Amino acid sequence: MEYRPRIIDAELAAALQASGAVQLKGPKWCGKTASASQQAASIVYMQNPDQAASNLEKARLKPSLLLEGETPRLIDEWQMAPQLWDAVRFAVDKRGGLPGQFILTGSTVPGEESMHSGVGRIARLVMRPMTLAESGESNQAVSLAALGRGESVEVADADMSIEALAHALCRGGWPAAVVGLGEQNALRVAPEYVASLLDSDVTRIDGVNRNAGRMRALMRSYARNIGTQASHGVIVADMAEADGSISPNTVSDYMDALRRVFVTDDLEAWNPALRSKTAVRTSPTRHYVDPSIAAALLGAGPDALMNDMETYGFLFESMCVRDLRVYAQGNGAEVRHYRDKTGLEADAVVVWPDGRWGLVEIKLGQHRVEEAAASLLKLEQRVDTEKLGNPAFKLVITGGDLAYTREDGVHVVPIAALGP
């Protein structure tokens, strides 16, 4: 399959220059192995059927055998033999901390109780599915980096219709769907992903046989609550309607399993210094790592979304958050969300380590830009800018076709014109 460059490529190259080993983690099918193999000099595939038994035996008896080879050496799906983590950490120490020795890729977080942290030896990178910029569907007329520098937005067109956005949302950012498949076949990938999760990946992640029906019910509840701050109690109550015998502890275990296979990707809250004593809500916003998972669970294809704009709006927000997180990570920043007790919110807040920050509202329809801009301007007034400084930008991301800056300074940018 054709390899399309990913934003993570530069991050991985930089990490290899600074650390003895790099852990590249993220959901299955997002392209970790393909990206890592572009920079690896040798590879061991722990899931290769011809060598799996032998590799596991080597890992049990003498894990250093698996580390022998040209560097950087890629160990794919290393979590199949968790002892490799400590073996890599020890090997980095023995080699004098020489950078660029190993790449560890995996789509599951193993039990880490017996593992050393790897701090100072193993850098960690998160990889997510493809953004619209990486799939070539965004023309990247506006970059997040430029916004973070306070640069203006020039008037520019986007090239995606709202129908095309709906298709991209349901298809998802899975490389197998983006590259080499026709439009209809590409829509089969996300449902197959969900089926694979429920068949084996998430129900037996740590040797525990979880009930696939309950897991599906939980995932459907997450899909119905996507883009909201639904509490654990709300999700428990939602599931109890179908299974009154389920306990909150069971739901917590199932939610943790989804997190450990990088399927859920909740957005944590931003807690800035405010001018008033307004209480900030700290509940995370519920998101999947890719909106196509939610669409598949809801049985919503592109045509269905076009006939249900409310659902489309929630899923569109999740797609924009996915892209923002990838763009922000590529710029050394993080994404959070804000909501206070008065209901004032920002769907996303981009925060840089040097203190820069930007406010983002996401609206599918162009007709809601005025409302979104007013909310951002109100929130700016509530933040204590004497302590935090002024925002680098105030941004409304839309499903429209024109990027521009309003007279009040708020930028309006279609998601199909945004890039890193």
The total of other beta-carbon atoms located within 10 Å of residue 17's CB is 9
Mean pLDDT within 225-239: 91
Mean pLDDT of the chain: 93
Q: What is residue 99's predicted lDDT score, i.e. its pLDDT? A: 96
Say yes or no to pLDDT of 114 above 70. no
Tell me what pLDDT residue 2 has.
Answer: 80
Could you tell me which of 256, 264, 309 has the C-alpha nearest to residue 291? 264
Measured distance CA(98)–CA(93) in Å, rounded: 8
pLDDT at 224 over 80: yes
Given this model, what pLDDT does residue 117 score? 60
Q: What is the CA radius of gyration of the chain?
A: 22
Q: Is the pLDDT of residue 18 over 90?
A: yes
Question: Does 390 have pLDDT greater than 60?
Answer: yes
- Rounded distance, CA 83 to CA 30, Å? 25
- Tell the residue number behind the tokens 């740590």, with chain if given: 206
CA 350 to chain centre: 14
Average of per-residue pLDDT across 11-35: 96
Q: Contact, 26 vs 109, CB < 8 A? A: no
Position 112 scores a pLDDT of: 53
Contact 187, 170 (CB under 8 A): yes
| Predicted local confidence at residue 244, as pLDDT | 73
pLDDT of residue 238: 87
> Can you give the pTM of this predicted structure?
0.94
Q: What is the spatial distance between Cα 215 and Cα 219, in angstroms, rounded to a whole number? A: 6
- Note whether 293 and 194 are within 8 A (CB): yes
Q: Which of 55-59, 71-75, 93-97, 181-185 has the highest mean pLDDT?
A: 71-75
Is the peptide bond preceding residue 175 cis, with omega within 30 degrees of 0?
A: no
Kindly tell me if the per-residue pLDDT of 290 is higher than 80. Answer: yes
Burial of 61 (C-beta count, 10 Å sphere; 0-12/13-18/19+): exposed
Place of tokens 């994404």: 335
Section 383-401 average pLDDT: 96
Tokens of residue 369, six digits = 């830009």
295-317: pLDDT as tens digits: 999 999 999 999 999 999 999 99
Please, which contacts does 344-347 make with residues 24 or more away whose CB atoms are closer than 8 Å?
344/278, 344/375, 344/378, 344/379, 344/382, 345/375, 345/379, 346/270, 346/375, 346/376, 346/379, 347/227, 347/285, 347/317, 347/320, 347/321
| Residue 31 confidence (pLDDT) | 95
| pLDDT tens digits for range 116-170 | 666 668 999 999 999 999 999 999 999 999 999 999 999 999 999 999 999 999 9
Q: What pLDDT is recorded for position 121?
A: 87
Q: What are the beta bridge partners of residue 350?
A: 335, 358
Give the per-residue pLDDT at 118.
Answer: 60
Average pLDDT over residues 77-96: 93
Q: Which residue has the higher pLDDT, 202 or 392?
A: 392
Segment 6-35 mean pLDDT:
96
Residue 113 has pLDDT above 50, yes or no: no
Joined together, the tokens standing for residue 147 give: 């916004």
Per-residue pLDDT tens digits for 183-201: 889 999 999 999 998 887 7
If DSSP states are collapsed to H, E and C, what string results for the chain?
CCCCCCCHHHHHHHHHHHCCEEEEECCCCCCHHHHHHCCCCEEEECCCCCCHHHHHHHHHHCHHHHHCCCCCEEEECHHHCCHHHHHHHHHHHHCCCCCCCEEEEECCCCCCCCCCCCCCCEEEEECCCCCCCCCCCCCCCEEHHHHHCCCCCCCEECCCCHHHHHHHHHHCCCHHHHCCCCHHHHCCHHHHHHHHHHHHHCCCCCCCCCCHHHHHHHHHHHHHCCCCCCCHHHHHHHHHCCCCCCCHHHHHHHHHHHHHCCCECCECECCCCECCCCCECCCCECCECCHHHHHHHHCCCHHHHHCCHHHHHHHHHHHHHHHHHHHHHHCCCEEEEEEECCCCEEEEEEECCCCCEEEEEEECCHHHHHHHHHHHHHHHHHECHHHHCCCCEEEEEECCCEEEECCCCCEEEEHHHEEC
Q: Which residues pair with 393 in a beta bridge?
A: 358
State residue 7 phi and psi, 5-degree precision.
-65, -30
Question: Average pLDDT for residues 280-302, to the nearest whole number?
Answer: 96
List phi, psi (to 5°) of 340: -115, 180
| pLDDT tops 70 at residue 265 | yes
